[in-house]
A and B are shown apart, each in its own frame.
Chain A
Amino acid sequence: MKSALFGCALSLLPGTAFAVEPGAPPPSFSWLGDARAISRNWSASRDTPTMNLTWFPRLTYVAGGEFALATWRRPRFTLRAGFAGLIELERDANEDGFVGAAWPSHDGKLIWRGAYAGYVAVAPADWGKRICASCGVEFALQYRHESEHYTGSNAGDAGEDMRGVPYVGDDLILDAALSEHFTDWYFAQRAYLLGYIPGQSSYRAGAAFDLHARYTGFAGVHPFTSVSGEQRFGTELQGRDFPDVQRLRGLFGVALPSTLGDILVYAFADVGNRYGVRALSNEATLGAGVRLALGRQPER
């Protein structure tokens, strides 16, 4: 009975299809697909939910992903509803200069943060075309939660007091993205507005941007660069006045494209506040990493 009702409900979705023949046009409704019409997995931000590894200057590894759980394609727009999540572990080191050992110290102490988000994204079919023939546009609203942590030492060292560190907590994020092709180049830009739930975060508001450019003239290798920046405005939480946070980060490397997405091999440079429980520190770093970025650039 329940399955009958469920099937009946799905039948109300026009043109629903659950299996796709190779070469067939995209179904009007599908489960589990590309997270966005304009991928944000090329973003230089460390908040990007991907599978990511950086060796230098500190070892960080991210297990994350973003997927559309449901995609509904209509002639005038495409609507996606999805989920994103990540866990980032970072070796803690405060040294000025070269951080000698990329691998975690034997005591096992790591700082880490976890985040999850639910979102809806809409990509109007014609809005981009009003700007240029190859342009695409997308808007999204997401609810995101992030918490910051550290693991204690396996050697039994004294723990740290985490009451005074910034707490991202809960926020609503509105973003707008634009992409375009220009000869052999592909560009994607995205702007974010962030609003934090009062009493649930050490920030009150913020704004951010992502810029991405890649050269697609080579079949199997796309040189690319991505730049992201953000400003978060601090607020009072549990009697502590948290400062504003600024970050600017650039990636420079090559994307190895596939039908699923890209392998990004990159160098990076960043300046501004650290992440997680060390967000009260400001520094500039140079490093290198690799990322599995799901999501293709839109067809021309």
Chain B
Amino acid sequence: MLRSAWGRAWVLLAALASSGCVHRISDDKSTVGETRGECVVPAPLGVPELAAPVSLEYPDASLWIWDSLTTDDGGVVANPSARVASHSDPCGRGPNLARDAAGAPRSLLALSSEELADNAARSDGRQLVLSARGGFVHDDVGYLYYEHALVGPGVFDVEELGTGLCVVSDPEQPCERILKGESSVLWAADEWPKNQGGMIDGERAYVLGCRRIASFDTPCVISSVPLDRVRDPSAYRYFDAFNGWVEAPESASVVLNWAGAVTLGRADGRYVATNLDIFDARVSVRFAPTPTGNFGMPIDLFRGQAPNEGFARGGREHSALRSRDRSLAFTYFVADEGPGHGLHLIDFELNGGLE
């Protein structure tokens, strides 16, 4: 039998098969929804590259805010912003940055003249830096939380000073930093930050804050304030799963613990928390019956372009850019050089009735 062509072919196939190998062809798309659109957002005129923004979500637009942008001439603009009207708006020509009369990008969140003078006078290599972290919008007024930090002299030297609040009455103009006495630090560094944006539900605002306590261990708590007392830091309370709203930061209950950006919002008639996994750029969502917790297990939505080196960056969800009732809109940044490098905007539509 082995002398025949059939016999030799059979023996060859058996030898190949007994070596045992797997060739992966593909993985099917997500079962929980579909990516309806994705683009790499072009950098606007005068800016070589866009990082991932935080945002304030207005009813008709998303106000993107960056930590800083480097301009073509090597200058650095702190906390510039751009109004983005829809999920397709920035994909063609890039976001339209707020600019001053000379056409240069304008800071939405800016140091005061005294702070600038102090920075110039410092001789220890450190500089005061303000970093926008997100917030919420009520009655067309944006409430932007930001962090104060002394940065330098080394690249990784950072001293956190605390959290502030800046009121955005006109997105084309610098926001108004709220003061407590003479300081803009409204919440000290040992209190929970308010660095993951927020949302409104009823007569209260809910703000998510996460603090890194160890490598890849970043518990998050929710603080809340009546909408008519947003500017008053003494009116904020933390959610305690046992006692409701409490004043003491140390009594706050951890509602989430995710490395990577978390966004609190509403979608599909429920409360959601979304997250970008910093290791493999996988975006997931958790549903909850209340804005304060009982978040379910994460449901993977899609996987972005995983980083070859370092971590995935960004990952905020922009409710104003959702294209459909059950859509979610995300931005994240691919740092690796090559195809896909840059700021990605993704429009993902959920199926209804997810359990």
Contact = CB atoms under 8 A, between A and B. Distances in A.
Contact of A267 (B17, B24, B31, B298): B17
A284 B32 contact: no
B182 interface: no
A284 B297 CA distance: 32
B76 interface: no
A82 B23 CA distance: 38
Contact of B300 (A94, A164, A284): A164
B19 to A, nearest CB: 7
Interface in B16-31: 16-31
Interface in A232-289: 236, 238-243, 252-253, 267-269, 271, 273, 280-288
B23 A284 contact: yes
Contact of A161 (B14, B16, B21, B297): B297
Interface in B159-191: none
Interface in B276-311: 297-300
Nearest to A250: B13
Nearest to B296: A163
B20 A95 contact: no
B298 A161 contact: yes
B299 A56 contact: no
Given A164-B299, A236-B351, A238-B353, A283 B22 contact: yes
Contacts of B22: 57-58, 93-99, 283-285
A240 B32 contact: yes
A281 B28 contact: yes
Contact of B20 (A164, A283, A286): A286
A94 B17 CA distance: 17
A55 B20 contact: yes
A164 B32 contact: yes
A241 B351 contact: yes
Interface residues of A, number: 40
B19 A283 contact: no
A269 B297 contact: no
A273 B16 CA distance: 21
A270 B26 CA distance: 15
B155 interface: no
Secondary structure dominating the interface of A: strand
Contacts, number: 117
Contacts of A163: 297, 299, 355
B213 interface: no
Contact of B19 (A56, A238, A239, A273): A56
Main secondary structure of the interface of B (DSSP, over half): mixed
A90 to B, nearest CB: 12
Contact of B23 (A236, A241, A285): A285
A102 B20 contact: yes
Given A241-B351, A253-B14, A269-B17, A94 B299 contact: no
Contacts of B29: 243
A203 to B, nearest CB: 12
B120 interface: no
A223 interface: yes
B31 A280 contact: yes
Contacts of B10: 223, 252
A268 B355 CA distance: 38
B25 A288 contact: no
A269 B20 CA distance: 10
Nearest to A245: B28
Contacts of A253: 14
Given A164-B300, A240-B31, A288 B21 contact: no
Contacts of B117: none
B352 interface: yes
Contact of A288 (B1, B17, B30): B17
Nearest to B32: A240
Contacts of B14: 252-253, 267, 288
B101 interface: no
A268 to B, nearest CB: 6
B27 A282 contact: yes
Contact of A284 (B18, B25, B28): B25
Contacts of A282: 24-28
Nearest to A238: B355
B24 A283 contact: yes
Interface hub of B28, B32, B297, B353 (most chain A Cβ within 10 A): B28
B17 A286 contact: yes
B354 interface: yes
Interface in A132-147: none
Nearest to B20: A56
Given A95-B22, A161-B299, A223-B10, A242 B31 contact: yes
A39 B18 CA distance: 27
Contact of A98 (B19, B25, B353): B19
9 contacts: A56-B20, A57-B20, A93-B22, A238-B353, A240-B31, A267-B17, A283-B22, A284-B22, A286-B19
Interface of B: 1, 10, 13-14, 16-32, 34, 297-300, 351-355
Given A56-B20, A242-B31, 6 more contacts: A96-B24, A97-B23, A236-B351, A267-B16, A281-B24, A286-B21
Across the A-B interface, give the 6 residue pairs with the lowest CB-CB distance, nearest first.
A56-B20, A267-B17, A239-B354, A57-B20, A239-B353, A240-B31
